[in-house]
Chains A and B, each alone.
Chain A
Amino acid sequence: MTDAASEPDKITGPTPDNALRAADKADDGPVLAADGKPLKQSLNRALRAQKLRALALIAPLLIFVLISFIAPIGDMLFRSVENQIVGETLPRTVTALTDYDAASEEAPGDDVFEAAYYDIFYAAENKMHTRLGSRLNYEMTGASSMFRKAGRGVDDIGEVYLDQFEDLDENWDEARPWAELMGDPDWISAQEGWDGESRMPAFELRSGIADILPRTATTYENFARFMQNEEEESPLEEEPWSVVHTALYQDLSEGDVSGYSGPRSDMLQGAADLVASPDFETISFRDGFEEIDEDWVTPEIWQIIKTYSPAYTSGYFLNSVDMQKTEEGPAMRDEDERIYGLLFQRTLFMSMVITFSCILLGYPVAYLLSNLPASRANLLMILVLLPFWTSLLVRTSAWKVMLQQQGVINDVLVWLGMVADDGRLVMINNQFGTIVAMTHILLPFMILPMYSVMSTIPPSYVRAARSLGATNWTSFWRVYFPQSVPGIGAGSILVFILSIGYYITPEIVGGTSGIFISNRIAYHISTSLNWGLAAALGSILLVVVLALYWAYDRIVGIDNVKLGG
Chain B
Amino acid sequence: MKLTKTLLATSALTVAASGATAQDMADSMTLVSWGGAYQNSQQKAYLEPYLEMNPDVSASWDESSNEAVAKLRAMNEAGNVTWDLVDVVASDAIRLCDEGLAMEVDHDELLKPAPDGTDASDDFGDLIVSDCFIPQIVYSTTFGYRTDMVPEGVEPPSDICSVFDLETYPGKRSLEQRPINNMEWALLCDGVAKDDVYDVLETSEGQDQALAKLDTIKDEVIWWSAGADTPQLLADGEIFMGSTYNGRLFSVIEEQDQPVGMMWDAQVFDLDGWIIPDDLPDDRLARVQDFVRFATDTQRLADQAAYISYGPARESSAPLVGDHAELGIAMGQHMPTAPDNSGNIFVYNYEFWADYRDDIDAKFQAWLAR
A141 near B356 with CB under 8 A, answer: yes
Interface residues in A196-251 by Cβ distance below 8 A to B read none
A520 near B365 with CB under 8 A, answer: yes
A511 near B99 with CB under 8 A, answer: no
Output the nearest chain A residue to B367 by Cβ-Cβ distance.
Answer: A336
Q: How many residues of A contact B (CB 8 A)?
A: 36
Determine whether B188 belongs to the interface, using a CB cutoff of 8 Å to chain A.
no
Interface residues in B36-66 by Cβ distance below 8 A to A read 66
Determine whether A130 belongs to the interface, using a CB cutoff of 8 Å to chain B.
yes
A512 near B369 with CB under 8 A, answer: yes
Output the nearest chain B residue to A131 by Cβ-Cβ distance.
Answer: B99
A134 near B99 with CB under 8 A, answer: yes
Binary flags per residue of B338-370, CB closer than 8 Å to A gives 1, else 0: 000000000000010011111101110111110
Known contacts A511-B222, A528-B357; A144/B363 CB under 8 A:
no
CA–CA, A513 and B66, complex, Å: 24
B238 near A130 with CB under 8 A, answer: no
Determine whether B24 belongs to the interface, using a CB cutoff of 8 Å to chain A.
no
CA–CA, A120 and B225, complex, Å: 38
Binds B, one of A337-345, A350-358, A466-474: A337-345
A526 near B368 with CB under 8 A, answer: no
Interface residues in A1-43 by Cβ distance below 8 A to B read none
Binary flags per residue of B65-93, CB closer than 8 Å to A gives 1, else 0: 01101100100000000000000000000
Give min CB distance, A266 to chain B, whole Å: 39
Known contacts A130-B99, A529-B70; A145/B354 CB under 8 A:
yes
Determine whether B187 belongs to the interface, using a CB cutoff of 8 Å to chain A.
no
Determine whether A187 belongs to the interface, using a CB cutoff of 8 Å to chain B.
no
Instruction: List B contacts of A133 (CB < 8 A).
Output: 98
A529 near B69 with CB under 8 A, answer: yes
Determine whether A148 belongs to the interface, using a CB cutoff of 8 Å to chain B.
yes
Instruction: List A contacts of B95 (CB < 8 A).
Output: 134, 529
CA–CA, A527 and B225, complex, Å: 12
Instruction: List B contacts of A128 (CB < 8 A).
Output: 100
CA–CA, A345 and B69, complex, Å: 30
Give min CB distance, A333 to chain B, whole Å: 8
Output the nearest chain A residue to B71 by Cβ-Cβ distance.
Answer: A526
Determine whether B177 belongs to the interface, using a CB cutoff of 8 Å to chain A.
yes
A404 near B238 with CB under 8 A, answer: yes
Instruction: List B contacts of A130 (CB < 8 A).
Output: 97-100
Give min CB distance, A419 to chain B, whole Å: 16
CA–CA, A343 and B362, complex, Å: 13
Determine whether B223 belongs to the interface, using a CB cutoff of 8 Å to chain A.
yes
B238 near A528 with CB under 8 A, answer: no
Known contacts A137-B358, A511-B223, A528-B357; A148/B67 CB under 8 A:
no
Output the nearest chain B residue to A342 by Cβ-Cβ distance.
Answer: B369
Give min CB distance, A442 to chain B, whole Å: 22
Query: What's the count of A-B pairs with C-beta under 8 Å?
Result: 80
Determine whether A127 belongs to the interface, using a CB cutoff of 8 Å to chain B.
yes
A343 near B97 with CB under 8 A, answer: no
A526 near B70 with CB under 8 A, answer: yes
Give min CB distance, A517 to chain B, whole Å: 11
Known contacts A336-B366, A525-B70; A127/B355 CB under 8 A:
no
A337 near B358 with CB under 8 A, answer: no
Known contacts A130-B100, A406-B237, A529-B69; A337/B366 CB under 8 A:
yes
Determine whether B236 belongs to the interface, using a CB cutoff of 8 Å to chain A.
yes
Determine whether A80 belongs to the interface, using a CB cutoff of 8 Å to chain B.
no
A530 near B177 with CB under 8 A, answer: no
Determine whether A291 belongs to the interface, using a CB cutoff of 8 Å to chain B.
no
CA–CA, A407 and B236, complex, Å: 8
B100 near A528 with CB under 8 A, answer: no
A131 near B237 with CB under 8 A, answer: no
Determine whether A405 belongs to the interface, using a CB cutoff of 8 Å to chain B.
yes
Instruction: List A contacts of B222 (CB < 8 A).
Output: 429, 511
B355 near A145 with CB under 8 A, answer: yes
A528 near B73 with CB under 8 A, answer: no
B355 near A142 with CB under 8 A, answer: yes
Instruction: List B contacts of A141 (CB < 8 A).
Output: 355-356, 358-359
Instruction: List A contacts of B177 (CB < 8 A).
Output: 512
A144 near B365 with CB under 8 A, answer: no
Give min CB distance, B198 to chain A, whole Å: 12
Output the nearest chain A residue to B66 by Cβ-Cβ distance.
Answer: A526
Interface residues in B104-136 by Cβ distance below 8 A to A read none
Determine whether A367 belongs to the interface, using a CB cutoff of 8 Å to chain B.
no
**By CB atoms of chain A within 10 A, which of B67, B359, B367 has the most?**
B359
Binary flags per residue of A496-516, CB closer than 8 Å to B gives 1, else 0: 000000000001000111000
Instruction: List A contacts of B362 (CB < 8 A).
Output: 337, 339
Instruction: List A contacts of B208 (CB < 8 A).
Output: 336
CA–CA, A145 and B69, complex, Å: 19
CA–CA, A342 and B361, complex, Å: 16
Instruction: List A contacts of B368 (CB < 8 A).
Output: 512
Instruction: List A contacts of B356 (CB < 8 A).
Output: 141-142
B225 near A528 with CB under 8 A, answer: no
Output the nearest chain B residue to A137 by Cβ-Cβ distance.
Answer: B358
CA–CA, A356 and B356, complex, Å: 42
CA–CA, A134 and B356, complex, Å: 11
CA–CA, A407 and B235, complex, Å: 12
**By CB atoms of chain B within 10 A, which of A138, A343, A406 has the most?**
A406
Give min CB distance, B328 to chain A, whole Å: 32
Instruction: List A contacts of B365 (CB < 8 A).
Output: 339, 520
B98 near A131 with CB under 8 A, answer: yes
CA–CA, A338 and B367, complex, Å: 9
CA–CA, A510 and B223, complex, Å: 10
Interface residues in A95-139 by Cβ distance below 8 A to B read 127-128, 130-131, 133-134, 137-138
Output the nearest chain B residue to A534 by Cβ-Cβ distance.
Answer: B70
Interface residues in A399-439 by Cβ distance below 8 A to B read 404-407, 429
Instruction: List A contacts of B355 (CB < 8 A).
Output: 137, 141-145
Give min CB distance, A269 to chain B, whole Å: 40
CA–CA, A128 and B100, complex, Å: 7
Instruction: List B contacts of A336 (CB < 8 A).
Output: 208, 363, 366-367
**By CB atoms of chain A within 10 A, which of B66, B358, B368 has the most?**
B358
Output the nearest chain B residue to A405 by Cβ-Cβ distance.
Answer: B238
A528 near B98 with CB under 8 A, answer: no
Give min CB distance, B154 to chain A, whole Å: 18
CA–CA, A9 and B46, complex, Å: 76
Instruction: List B contacts of A405 (CB < 8 A).
Output: 172, 238
CA–CA, A527 and B363, complex, Å: 16
Give min CB distance, A440 to chain B, whole Å: 20
CA–CA, A188 and B285, complex, Å: 34
Give min CB distance, B78 to chain A, whole Å: 10
CA–CA, A134 and B69, complex, Å: 13
Instruction: List B contacts of A512 (CB < 8 A).
Output: 177, 223, 368-369
Binary flags per residue of A294-321, CB closer than 8 Å to B gives 1, else 0: 0000000000000000000000000000
Give min CB distance, A133 to chain B, whole Å: 7
B residues neighboring A (CB under 8 Å)? 66-67, 69-70, 73, 95, 97-100, 172, 177, 208, 222-223, 225, 236-238, 351, 354-359, 361-363, 365-369
A residues neighboring B (CB under 8 Å)? 127-128, 130-131, 133-134, 137-138, 141-145, 148, 336-339, 342-343, 404-407, 429, 507, 511-513, 520, 525-530
Q: List 13 A-B contacts (CB under 8 A).
A: A128-B100, A131-B100, A134-B98, A137-B358, A148-B354, A336-B366, A336-B367, A338-B366, A343-B369, A405-B238, A406-B236, A511-B222, A528-B361
For the complex with contacts A342-B369, A512-B369, A525-B70, 20 further pairs of A-B residues with Cβ separation under 8 Å are: A141-B356, A144-B354, A145-B351, A148-B354, A336-B366, A336-B367, A339-B365, A405-B172, A405-B238, A507-B225, A511-B222, A512-B368, A520-B365, A526-B66, A526-B69, A526-B70, A527-B70, A528-B357, A528-B358, A529-B69
The 10 closest A-B pairs by CB, nearest first: A130-B98, A141-B359, A526-B67, A526-B70, A127-B100, A339-B366, A512-B368, A142-B355, A406-B237, A145-B355
